[in-house]
Chains A and B, each alone.
Chain A
């Protein structure tokens, strides 16, 4: 075993970027699930395509690949796929193939989205992306660690950043999220 010690501020900066991507993917999962249920297939396809490109970006970030800052969403996604191509051209080619697919007819949209999510799960190695609840938990767990470390550095913002549900006063924010998801599962 070797010890790999890194400067704390740099670690926090990297994790903040990862946490922002996890939050983005979480919001896309809400979009995707809600749109499918409502028959808003254009929105569902848009969300699936954005899950794909955000997942590529996240997998690179977790591997320590730093991408240039890009405000434009298309350029950011292209930069991520370009970076992936340099390390794994076959994987990047498969991601491009999925990204270039046009929206399927309504009857085939779930299958098309399943193929995209299967790629994210198995090829990019992000299994939590396939479920909205798991995406929420992933974001919450990352946020919990990040806030604890940021607090150590005196960087954490105020404690009222989480809007708690009024009927769970005895739980901390993370415990409340877990309880909320468990309640949804029981329904």
Chain B
């Protein structure tokens, strides 16, 4: 991507904007630029700069404060006739930390090391139109690479797809078909997002997946339909779509779990209650568990070490241990944070 030169409100900053941008948008940016204080920078980004915004898309601006600024205003909003203005205030130290994270993270580490928020900010900075930038802001903007964002976002999105696919598989095995359907759609949308990022459409918002696919492959073409396969799955074709997605998303693409071998914490007892159970933490707290967590907790309560509990649960559901681990990981972490589980060391992982 061509690097824009520093611009000031008096210069031809409008030349940095995509062709065909509405005059109301240009005027709004110009009006806001006049308010940006000396020493601060302002860049325009978002779907309008990306080139697929519409008549009601918001005008996204980042204001990069100078180092040492004491302003704590995180965002500002302004309602206009057909749009709204969305301004985020950022500091160079935080942006350098973000750039450091992208620089220091390897491709294999991406799923566990970066968040969607990281991608959203990094990508938007990498494609931003630099309306008015100081040398300090330009230094950090130059560290944001749209190419790196695309490669890393493709990998991260695939991990999301794999995780949602595991959760959909487990939901279906538990008989919760509606939840399995919405999880499968999410898996398909993330798989498509990964493909698109690899093909140069890396704008990191799931909602634009159909628009990006139309721009990349042509609306309603075979390539478009192939890319979005599974996004509209219904209960009737759930099994077939899950199988098809399995063939397109490697199970190992999901982020590795934290590998913790969980045990019930000291003083925790499980009291069955219909198709659920209550976990009681001494005399302090109680929580209800059902579904996958219930199966794992029951196995732990019966003395299974963690690995055996996972294996047994997977066999009962006829899914893979990886699907169980991926689905259970955030739930078990929540239980641990609340004191119901402890990190064990069962030696048979």
Given contacts A43-B211, A77-B182, A100-B182, contact A163 B56 (CB under 8 A): no
Q: Is A34 an interface residue (CB 8 A)?
A: yes
Q: Which of B87-123 contact A (CB under 8 A)?
A: 87
For residue A78, which residues in chain B have a CB less than 8 angstroms away from its CB? 179, 182
Q: Assess whether B31 is in contact with A166, with CB atoms less than 8 Å apart.
A: yes
Of A31, A41, A100, A157, the contact of B56 (CB 8 Å cutoff): A31
- Please give me the residue from chain B that is nearest to A97 by CB atom: B178
Of B76, B81, B211, the contact of A163 (CB 8 Å cutoff): B76
Q: Assess whether A30 is in contact with B58, with CB atoms less than 8 Å apart.
A: yes
- Please give me the residue from chain A that is nearest to B82 by CB atom: A184
Q: Assess whether B56 is in contact with A37, with CB atoms less than 8 Å apart.
A: yes
Q: Assess whether B73 is in contact with A157, with CB atoms less than 8 Å apart.
A: yes
CA distance A162 to B186 in the complex (A): 34
Q: Is B207 an interface residue (CB 8 A)?
A: yes
Q: Is A140 an interface residue (CB 8 A)?
A: yes
Q: Is A120 an interface residue (CB 8 A)?
A: no
Q: Assess whether B210 is in contact with A164, with CB atoms less than 8 Å apart.
A: no
Q: Is B80 an interface residue (CB 8 A)?
A: yes
Main secondary structure of the interface of A (DSSP, over half): helix
CA distance A187 to B79 in the complex (A): 16
Per-residue interface assignment for chain A, residues 160 to 171, with 1 indicating a CB less than 8 Å from any chain B CB and 0 otherwise: 111111100000
Of B31, B81, B207, the contact of A183 (CB 8 Å cutoff): B81
Q: Return B54 CB to nearest CB of chain A, in Å.
A: 4
Given contacts A42-B210, A100-B235, contact A161 B73 (CB under 8 A): yes
CA distance A25 to B48 in the complex (A): 20
Given contacts A100-B181, A103-B232, A180-B81, contact A158 B55 (CB under 8 A): no
For residue A37, which residues in chain B have a CB less than 8 angstroms away from its CB? 54-56
CA distance A72 to B330 in the complex (A): 11
For residue B81, which residues in chain A have a CB less than 8 angstroms away from its CB? 180, 183-184, 187
Q: Return B172 CB to nearest CB of chain A, in Å.
A: 14
Of B52, B83, B182, B235, the contact of A74 (CB 8 Å cutoff): B182
Q: Assess whether A40 is in contact with B56, with CB atoms less than 8 Å apart.
A: no
Per-residue interface assignment for chain A, residues 17 to 46, with 1 indicating a CB less than 8 Å from any chain B CB and 0 otherwise: 000000000010011011101101111001
CA distance A140 to B78 in the complex (A): 11
Interface residue ranges, A against B (CB under 8 Å): 27, 30-31, 33-35, 37-38, 40-43, 46-47, 50, 72, 74, 77-78, 96, 99-100, 102-103, 132, 136, 140, 157-158, 160-166, 176-177, 180-181, 183-184, 187
Can you list 7 A-B contacts with CB-CB less than 8 angstroms, sorted by A residue number?
A31-B207, A34-B53, A34-B55, A38-B55, A46-B206, A102-B232, A180-B79
Interface residue ranges, B against A (CB under 8 Å): 31-32, 34, 52-58, 72-73, 75-85, 87, 164, 178-179, 181-183, 186, 206-211, 214, 228, 231-235, 330
